[in-house]
Chain A
Amino acid sequence: MTSVKTQQSRNDDGLAAVVPATAPPQLVKRRRKPLTWDKVSFFAVFLGLPLAIYLLFVIWPFVQAFGYSLTDWSGFSPNQNFIGLENYTKIFTDDIFMKAMGNNILLVIFLPIITIILSLVLASLVTVGGSSKGQIKGLRNSSFYRVVSFFPYTIPAIAIGIMWGQIYDPSGGLLNGILTGLGFDQFKDFAWLGDKNTAMIATMFVIVWGFVGFYMVLFVAGIKGIPAELFEAARIDGAGRFRTAVSITIPLIRDNIQTAYIYMGILALDAFVYMAALNSGGGPDNSTLVMAQQLFFTAFSKGQFGLASAMGVVLAVATLIFSGLVFLVNRLTGGDKDVSL
């Protein structure tokens, strides 16, 4: 088992899970062979075509959107005037858009951390958190918990939003029903999604609820790839469960965590579906408004596609900055060192 290696994070795109390298790296350099029709047609179909489609459907729309962001295009007429960076000045002086951006930042800070910590704890429990005698194993019936906690992920986001909207309903909702049933009368008719102090927290809870199971399964897969001997050795050395998790599990599935962090962060920067389903108007005092929602309103109800395109560009740049930050932090904390087992 000592030959199992995790892929180096430096060269991959950060989104791949830990994959054991099955074959030894090719060290012998091969000589270039002359191009044959076979080869050329192979390139054409498997390289050229995807590249063309990629350029056409991914890169070109980006370029177009940036172009539109410099105009005052209304979206419905063929006419547009070039107005330079005016849209960008407008965005950054608009209090509602800045509020939306602030909410996105709030989401990016809290959502990944909460989701990942929770799912790591759960993943540890169902894989290595079981009885401290005998073989390393998870809690009893752990496979049952694993399946159950994955359930929320199988529900479409919009259905989750509608369902929780009903649960949070002030007068007929399950949550207030339970709370008042337990004697907390101050929650009678309390609007979880209608109070600016609770709306964001309630919304975040829903998103976390929907994703914990998925990331748990991802981490379980990662932990299963760690040889049991390591955990056994740590246990013999007297490490408790917490110490094992911090010193063994986390460093060894670091790549998975980074991947999860980026995924969750991108979701937090978007979050459109959850926000639209739970508080379609942006919530009390715009406390749950996100950039994607504001973009949508600007484009389709105000008819300012130029401005909306500029918002899209800002959103894309924010996403890139976020991914860059995650990679940077990971590297600064020593994540690029190869961890071999």
Chain B
Amino acid sequence: MNVQHQSVGRRGFLRGALAAAVLVPMGGTIASCAAGGGGTTTGPTGTVSDTNPFGMAEKATLDAVIFKGGYGIDYVEFAGKIFEKTHEGSTAKIAPSTDIAQELQPRFVGGNPPDLIDNSGAKSIGFSTILAQLEDLTSVVEAKNLEGKVIKDTLYTGVLAPGTFDGKLAALNYVLTVFAVWYSDSLLKENGWTVPKTWDEMYTLGEQAKAKGKYLFVWGKEAASYYLWMMMESAIKEGGDEVRLALENLKEDGWSHPAVQSVFTAMDKIVKAGFFKPGGSGTQFTAAQAQWTNAQEALFYPSGSWIENEMKDQTKAGFNMTGAPVPTVTTGSKLPYTAIHSAAGEPYIVPSQAKNAAGGKELLRIMLSKEAATNFAKTKLAPTIVKDTIPADGFGSTALVSQTKLLADAGEDIFTWNFIDLYGMNKDQLVVMNTFLDGKSDVATLTSALQNITDKVRNDSSVKKIEVK
């Protein structure tokens, strides 16, 4: 900055108002660019009460930035309206964003982040980088909702796990995603097929399907990792929690665990038998998914429960999308067949430096209350982490009904993992998975490639590791 000021001064240029008008804001930009950081600005506080558990100031303004993806932002605006009604005089400003990381990075560095963020989407901020700057949201789940019930007691099992890092509840994941193997109930019934419960049964069904000119699976290049997640889920069910912990904690032999290997071997057999529709590594994932929902070239697709909403316009009439738990290797697996991988998604975070952090928590509390949560389930056909918001008919969606059933059947056997997103490994794993599903590698290659990705993160001292217990 010296250089500029000297050159300006020496030549006696830019003395006029124009110069001032141009340079002053620029100087401000530089100062904030240079990672100088701002002090914590805590706004005025109000009195703490049951209707205002976080002590938000009266007539406050709330600044929320919400990822605008498949779920839109109208459900937050809905909660925002309740917020404005409950706290008269306060306003909720809810802004959409499709690029959370790039858009909010300067605000984090400058010390003026929004009060509430939905840190989601492909361009979300990696949690390990901002963890220290986030509020612990335990106070939110311990508060009472608008109906007067303690929020913690109204939530599904295990939904707080994905947002808990090193014992700190840094993110509240709002939407419940159930991972399952999805299929067309009508198509299976028509052919007299049943959903396979083990990989051997899956293989047998593959042969029958092939006789009818159908494949078992399709995949798209951007979503090859869905198959990795399916295999991991099956392996964790087979080998129990130790498999999950080994993977989460980036253990040296995590991917060589016998349970993981047995699933890889079973899948390799299916791949080599040609039960995958070829060409997936060059197909855009929604096009691949349409080959399943519309052309019905394949029977199954492993995915999160967003799939119904995502493919709504391209699903054949009478498809009756239904989900089933991922097959196991043996019938004697450590966790039962009904155990599922379910992760709460759409992580909501409240930065500690936010001007109205209490307001951010307050909006979260409203979103977790019955009215807003039911509204979400009804308009998005997806459950939130709040229980009992979905009627028996699932608002007319077969997929929503089967999600509720999967969750009920699983009971306490619900698990998830964080390490892939936490350390940003998805992109590297995609490459490996595409090759594997293409039939161009084998179990050994897949194992060493995945292990290599894990090892690289573990050996990188600049990456902060979070131990999972």
Which chain A residues have a beta carbon within 8 Å of chain B's beta carbons?
40, 43-44, 48-49, 51-52, 55-56, 60, 64, 72-80, 83, 90, 96, 165-166, 168-172, 189-195, 199, 279-286, 297, 300-304, 307
Residues of B within 8 A of A (CB): 1, 3-4, 7-8, 11-14, 22-23, 26, 30, 33-38, 101-102, 105, 108-109, 111, 122-123, 125-126, 128-130, 132-133, 221-222, 277-284, 287, 291, 423-424, 426-428, 430-431, 434-435, 438, 460, 462-463
Closest partner residue, chain A, to B36 (CB atom): A78
Q: Is the CB of A281 within 8 A of B430?
A: yes
Least Cβ–Cβ distance between A15 and chain B, in angstroms: 26
| 26 CB-based A-B contacts, threshold 8 Å | A43-B11, A44-B13, A48-B13, A52-B8, A52-B13, A60-B30, A64-B33, A73-B35, A74-B129, A76-B108, A77-B129, A77-B130, A96-B428, A166-B284, A170-B280, A189-B279, A191-B279, A194-B281, A194-B283, A195-B438, A281-B427, A285-B431, A300-B101, A300-B102, A303-B125, A304-B463
Flag if A169 contacts B13 (CB, 8 Å). no
Cα distance A165–B435 in the bound complex, in angstroms: 19
Contact: B109 with A77, CB < 8 Å?
A: yes
9 closest residue pairs by CB, A with B: A78-B37, A191-B282, A170-B279, A194-B281, A194-B282, A303-B129, A303-B126, A189-B279, A48-B13
Kindly list chain A residues whose C-beta atoms are within 8 Å of the C-beta of B125.
76, 303
> Which residues from A are CB-within-8-Å of B431?
281-286
For B26, B34, B431, the residue with the greatest tally of chain A CB atoms inside 10 Å of its CB is B431
B83 vs chain A, min Cβ distance (A): 27
The reply to whether A56 and B102 form a contact with Cβ atoms under 8 Å apart is no
Residues of A within 8 A of B426 (CB): 301
The reply to whether A281 and B222 form a contact with Cβ atoms under 8 Å apart is yes
Which among A191, A279, A300, A304 is the interface contact of B280 at CB below 8 angstroms? A191
**In the complex where A76-B108, A191-B283 touch, is A48 in contact with B14 (Cβ < 8 A)?**
yes
Chain A residues with Cβ below 8 Å from B280 are: 170, 191, 194
**Residue picked from B36, B38, B129, most chain A C-beta under 10 Å:** B129
> What are the residues of chain B within 8 A of A304 when measuring CB–CB?
462-463
Contacts of B221 in A (CB 8 A): 193-194, 279, 281
Residue numbers in B under 8 Å from A171 (CB-CB): 277, 279, 283, 291
Determine the chain A residues whose CB is within 8 A of the CB of B128 once the complex forms.
303
CA gap between A255 and B211 in the complex, in Å: 64
Closest Cβ neighbor of B37 among chain A residues: A78
State whether B133 touches A76 (Cβ < 8 A). yes
Contact between chains at A78 and B7 (CB < 8 Å): no
Contact assessment for B13 and A43 in the assembled complex, using a CB-CB cutoff below 8 Å: yes
Q: B279 to chain A: which residues have CB within 8 Å? A: 170-171, 189-191, 194
Q: How far is the CA of A52 from the CA of B435 in the complex (A)?
A: 51
Given contacts A76-B130, A297-B424, contact A195 B3 (CB under 8 A): no
Q: Across the interface, do B462 and A72 meet the contact criterion of CB distance under 8 Å?
A: yes
Shortest Cβ distance from residue B422 to the other chain A in the assembled complex, whole angstroms: 10
CA distance A281 to B431 in the complex (A): 7
Question: Is B283 within 8 A of A56, CB to CB?
Answer: no
* CB-contact partner of B435 in A78, A284, A302, under 8 A: A284
A194 to B282, CA, bound (A): 4
* Given A44-B13, A64-B33, A77-B108, A170 contacting B462 (CB threshold 8 A): no
Q: How far is the CA of A133 from the CA of B42 in the complex (A)?
A: 85
Q: Judge whether A297 and B427 touch: CB under 8 Å.
A: yes
B296 shortest CB reach to chain A, Å:
13
- For the complex formed, measure the closest distance between the CB of A58 and the CB atoms of chain B, giving whole angstroms: 12
Closest to B225 in A: A281
Assuming the contacts A72-B462, A302-B424, asked whether A165 and B284 have C-beta atoms less than 8 A apart, the reply is yes
Which residues of the partner chain B approach A297 to less than 8 Å between Cβ atoms?
424, 427
In the assembled complex, which residues on chain A have CB atoms less than 8 Å from the CB atom of B1? 60
Of A80, A166, A301, most B-chain CB atoms within 10 Å: A301
Shortest Cβ gap from A47 to chain B (Å): 9
Closest chain-A Cβ to B154's Cβ sits at a distance in Å of 32
- Nearest residue (CB) in B for A289 is B431
- With contacts A79-B37, A191-B438 known, what are 4 further pairs, Cβ within 8 A? A52-B14, A78-B111, A169-B284, A301-B122
